[in-house]
Amino acid sequence: MDLIVIAAVSCIVSLTTLYSGFGLGTVLMPIFALFLPLQTAVAATAVVHFSNNLFKVMALGRHVDRELVLRFGVPAIAAAFAGAALLGVMGNMGEIVRYDLAGREAVITPIKLVMALLMLGFALLELLPGPREKRFDRRYLPLGGILSGFFGGLSGHQGALRSAFLSKASLSTEQFVGSNAWIGLLVDASRLLVYGNIFAVGTAAMITASVAPLVGAATLGAFMGIIIGKRFLRKVTMATVQKGTGLLLLIIAVALGLGVV
């Protein structure tokens, strides 16, 4: 039964986040945590996340906008490491408040509040009719990459900020999904290059024979979600993608502000 639940949730989340370009790890990790210790859940989520991005590139990567990946993706990856470095410094700022929310411990920190406000702003840009119609000039792509990468590295939610920028870049739905998939894969790969030894040793130790079936079920479910979503890709408009992105940003912003994630 656990395998069926994990596979079904992974499939649904993968399908819905195929168009938005983010959210798989945010949703899947708490689901894994229902069945696994927290550290193991994080490692299992990382494996599924990377596999999902790889499969998205294989299935939809041909729609990539190469200029966008170079001008936006490369600065985003570089800036993500700067954001991650600053996170180590800001991590010493302590907590604002820690409390119990429906039996779950919630922690509010300065970083979470800053990111909640930032994501709330992006959500409103996607959901309000006037701002939603605005588009960025392509000469600002490197700046968008730096900002999304930096704040993404600082918060761990780079995919959400990346999608918020790319949705304003005058792309077709296919180009948005394909380009987002490539940038997401490059981000994952760059993390593995830097943290490769730690990741390999830590993951190998935690993804044991008893855990592997859950990871396999989640990965298979994610693949199925991509296959299903690909069939409807041409029917999904960018307006729908923007509204979906805005709604997910809003949900994550509220969760961050409350200290739930």
- In this prediction, residue 199 carries a pLDDT of 45
Which pLDDT tens digit goes with each residue over 74-108?
998 888 888 777 766 766 677 888 988 877 788 88
* Contacts of residue 256, Cβ cutoff 8 Å, sequence gap at least 6: 112, 113, 115, 116, 119, 155, 157
Tell me the β-bridge partners of 107. 98
The residues of the chain scoring below 50 in pLDDT are 195-199
- In this prediction, residue 201 carries a pLDDT of 52
- Reading the block at residue 222, the tokens are 């994610």
Of 203, 170, 238, 196, nearest to 43 by C-alpha is: 203
**Which spans in the chain are helix H?**
2-20, 24-35, 38-60, 66-68, 74-90, 110-127, 129-132, 141-155, 158-166, 173-206, 212-231, 238-258
Q: What is the pTM of this model?
A: 0.73
Contact between 178 and 19 (Cβ < 8 Å)? no
Show me where the domains of the chain are located.
2-258
Question: How far apart, in whole angstroms, are the C-alpha atoms of residue 260 and residue 256?
Answer: 6
